[in-house]
Amino acid sequence: MSLVRWDPLEDLSNLREQMNRFFDQTFRRGFFAGTEPFGPRIDLYQTDQEVVAVAEIPGVQSKDDVEVALTNNTLILRGEFKRVHDVSEENILHSERFFGSFSRNIPLPAEIKPDESTASYKNGLLEIRMPKTEKGRRNIRRIPIQ
């Protein structure tokens, strides 16, 4: 029988790796789905005439990997982040990027005209411009600051 020297630092790094893998698989990938939305980060603002959404989608390889759908009061984004390189799971040493499908429903602050809306994709940013209906335009009332 031989003795094996115990190295606490080696055990800690192994434990850290196992904990990171556990949290990545459990928490980041949807176990607590309501905590942080998976998918593009979105800025949403409005002017007198339109509602504008700007979404960060730098991991999307092509505009064909994203679908934009609109109702009178909801923006729906669906898409997929794909791996650029085909790498097997056992060869991955560290990964912070998520790969997979996403879907987000964003309520809009005013009624819009889906048929007249436009979307453009450039440099990893998706911009969606949605003209407001007359009813939606009346929802904005500017209040003077005293």
Higher-confidence residue of 12 and 125: namely 125
126: its two tokens: 């998706």
Nearest by Cα to 122 from 67, 57, 41, 65: 57
Q: pTM of the predicted model, to two decimals?
A: 0.65
State pLDDT tens for residues 64-75: 888 999 998 999
At position 146, the amino acid (one-letter code) is: Q
Please state whether 77 falls in left (phi above 0), alpha (psi between -120 and 50) or beta: beta
Q: Cα separation of 48 and 61, whole Å?
A: 34
- pLDDT tens profile 20-29: 666 665 555 5
Provide the CA 18 distance to its chain's centre, in angstroms. 26
Residues 8, 118: Cα–Cα separation, whole Å:
58
